[in-house]
């Protein structure tokens, strides 16, 4: 099975990828010419990621000057299996104000004065644009739209990556307890109120969680005892109880 490699193309204002770790710069030649910029290869939470800035640093390339074919080609040659492209654009809908993150399933390309296809001049092909976006990739991006606050504590070790800083950050801003497991080494860490305990054994983790759960758990609510309704004996009435029978008609004896 082919290993998944995520490619990300950054649009206007995105000239680097925050959270990318173990970064190395890579240049790949393409028969389609020069790409927009060198590739930045690294990983995020253990996932291989290849980043390319569409306009390059300093926004030196206009939309018409971008070599889109070379960009796609070098990403493919770098092993990218899934590609996410980020773009900044306006909106004609009030319910989509600036800053809204939108996942599109269809689009109209209005870029002019550039080559828009890999085909032509001896190799003719027709590529359907009925479904230009992968629904599976789109669903996964939507499911991942949960942003955890990264801790910016300067005291933390520089060896801590996004996974640990997110775990610590969420405990700084909430009362959550975060268990962090390193994908590379399997080492277990526990974050509580912005502090982290590292290299815990399973037994120590179980012990610490038991302590924390007892400390933060609300006091048990005891059930309210049900009071019995005691009916005191009433003194006998001086008048005998009369029987009412629907089958007895009033008459002289009544």
Which residue ranges form the domains of the chain, and what is each CATH number?
1-88+128-146 (3.40.50.1580), 162-216 (3.40.1700.10)
Cβ-contact 183, 164 below 8 angstroms: no
Q: Among 118-122, 133-137, 186-190, which stretch is predicted with the lowest mean pLDDT? A: 118-122
Among candidates 42, 34, 40, which has minimal Cα distance to 53? 40
Among candidates 159, 204, 213, which has minimal Cα distance to 182? 159
pLDDT tens for each residue of 207-243: 999 988 887 666 566 566 555 554 555 555 555 544 4
Q: Among 27-41, 184-198, 211-225, which stretch is predicted with the lowest mean pLDDT? A: 211-225
Q: CA-to-CA distance for 31 and 185, rounded, in angstroms? A: 40
Q: CA-to-CA distance for 177 and 196, rounded, in angstroms? A: 10
Which residues have CB under 8 Å from 12's CB, separation 6+?
A: 55, 59, 87, 88
Q: CA-to-CA distance for 118 and 73, rounded, in angstroms? A: 10
pLDDT tens for each residue of 51-87: 999 999 889 999 889 999 999 999 999 999 999 998 8
| Confidence tier at 251 by pLDDT (50, 70, 90) | very low
pTM reported for the whole predicted model: 0.58
- Taking residues 121-130, report their average pLDDT: 84
pLDDT tens for each residue of 13-33: 888 888 889 999 999 999 999
Q: What is the mean pLDDT of the chain?
A: 82
> Alpha helices, DSSP H only, in the chain?
68-77, 135-143, 162-173, 202-216
The residue with tokens 């493919």 is: 76
The per-residue pLDDT for 23 is 93
Q: CA-to-CA distance for 9 and 17, rounded, in angstroms? A: 10
């Amino acid at each position: 099975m082919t290993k998944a490699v995520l490619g990300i193309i950054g649009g206007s204002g995105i000239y680097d990828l925050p959270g990318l770790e173990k970064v190395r710069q890579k240049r790949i030649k393409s028969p389609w010419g020069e790409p927009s910029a060198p590739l930045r290869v690294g990983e995020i939470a253990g996932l291989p990621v290849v980043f390319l800035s569409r306009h390059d640093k300093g926004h030196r390339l206009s939309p018409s000057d971008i070599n889109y074919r070379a960009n796609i080609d070098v990403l493919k040659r770098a092993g990218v299996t899934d590609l996410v492209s980020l773009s900044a654009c306006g909106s004609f809908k009030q319910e989509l104000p600036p800053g809204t993150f939108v996942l599109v399933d269809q689009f109209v390309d209005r870029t002019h004065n550039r080559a828009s296809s890999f085909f032509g001049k001896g190799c003719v092909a027709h590529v359907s644009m009925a479904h230009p976006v992968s629904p599976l990739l789109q669903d996964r991006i939507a499911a991942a739209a949960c942003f955890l606050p990264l801790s910016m504590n300067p005291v933390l070790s520089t060896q801590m990556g996004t996974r640990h800083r997110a775990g610590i950050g969420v405990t700084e801003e909430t009362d959550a307890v975060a268990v962090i497991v390193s994908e590379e080494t399997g080492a277990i860490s526990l974050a509580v109120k912005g502090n982290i305990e590292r290299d815990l054994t399973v037994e120590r983790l179980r012990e610490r969680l038991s302590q924390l759960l007892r400390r933060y758990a609300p006091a048990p609510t005891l059930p309210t005892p049900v009071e019995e309704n005691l009916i005191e004996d009433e003194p006998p009435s001086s008048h005998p109880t009369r029987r009412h029978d629907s089958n007895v008609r009033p008459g002289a004896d009544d």
